[in-house]
Amino acid sequence: MWFRTGGPRVALTLCLSAIAGSAALAGSDAPTTEIFAGVEGNDNSTQGYVGAGYAFGNGLYAAGFRLRAVGAFGGYTYQSALGDSAHADFDGKDAFGSVLIGYQFGDGSTVFRVFAGIEAENQDITPHDPNNSVQGSAVGLRLQAESWFDISERTFLSVDAAYGTAFQEYWSLARLGYRLTPTLSIGVEGGTLGNEEYNAGRGGGFLRFNVLAMEITLSGGFTGNYLDDQPSGYASVGIYRRF
């Protein structure tokens, strides 16, 4: 079996480091709510996501408890052997949702968050693939961690990771960025992702800028099932807003 998609969770890896940190100070007028959305595509899949979060206490920039909900959706294709016949084509649709509660440690230039909660996912593959265990509906535990470090006044590092038991899915993403201006950053990214049937890596670059009170991240590069097949290009856009 070979295919190059991990479902909508692929897109989620690209939004979370945009959420990870900020140099702003907490205060009575600090924002408490965040919303985010985005889309990603590669040679055989497209995924989208929407989500929102709320910070209890002194707002998003301060230490304290967090609540977050995410919904994602996508479609993909792949090829696999079906019985004694030649390789068959399969079409998949994936819907995913999670509700998490977490806690942020630190504020300003160094931030670390941990989350835990419930995830639910449905994988609908046509025709039915007897060789693929990632099918049907599943509910499980989701664990997630996000971190942000200002290495210097202009350089920053974010490292995020998650694991879910619904289909044993996992992902990680690290970004090393450089602030060209207070509202424009560039950098490189790399990570891993997979589930019971799939393991892959990715690497590329990103551009992040602020416009109309929104933070927009564009990224792209190459992804693939390690050395098992030819890599595919990917491109994504994510939008983030605080209130």
* Strand-pair partners of 207: 186, 218
- What percentage of the chain carries pLDDT values higher than 90? 70
Percent of the chain with pLDDT over 70: 85
Residue 54 falls within a domain, yes or no? yes
Tens digit of each residue's pLDDT (9 = 90 or more) over 19-35: 544 444 445 578 999 99
66 part of a folded domain: yes
Decide if 58 is inside a domain: yes
Residue 162 belongs to a domain: yes
Average pLDDT score over residue span 50-65: 94
**What's the chain's average pLDDT?**
87
Confidence of residue 2 (pLDDT cuts 50, 70, 90): very low
Report yes or no: 209 and 216 within 8 Å, Cβ to Cβ.
yes
Q: Is the pLDDT of residue 9 over 90?
A: no
Domain interval for residue 81: 9-242
pLDDT digits (tens, 9 = 90+) for 179-222: 999 999 999 999 999 999 889 999 999 999 999 889 999 999 99
> Is there a domain that residue 3 lies in?
no
Look up tokens 């690497």; give the residue.
203
Q: How many domains does the chain have?
A: 1
Estimate to the nearest angstrom the gap between the alpha carbon of 223 and the chain centroid.
14
CATH of the domain at 45: 2.40.160.40
Name the one residue in this structure whose structure tokens are 């479609």. 75
Is residue 1 situated within a structural domain?
no
Task: Fill in the DSSP letter of residue 27.
Answer: -
Q: What is the pLDDT of residues 139-174, one digit of tens each?
A: 999 999 999 999 999 999 999 999 999 999 999 999
Asked whether residue 2 is assigned to any structural domain, the reply reads no
pLDDT of residue 110 exceeding 70: yes
Question: Has residue 77 been placed in a domain?
Answer: yes
pLDDT score recorded for residue 171: 94
Q: What is the pLDDT of residue 5?
A: 42
**Whether 225 contacts 4, CB under 8 Å:** yes
Pairing of strands 198-211, 45-55: unpaired
Pairing of strands 110-126, 45-55: unpaired
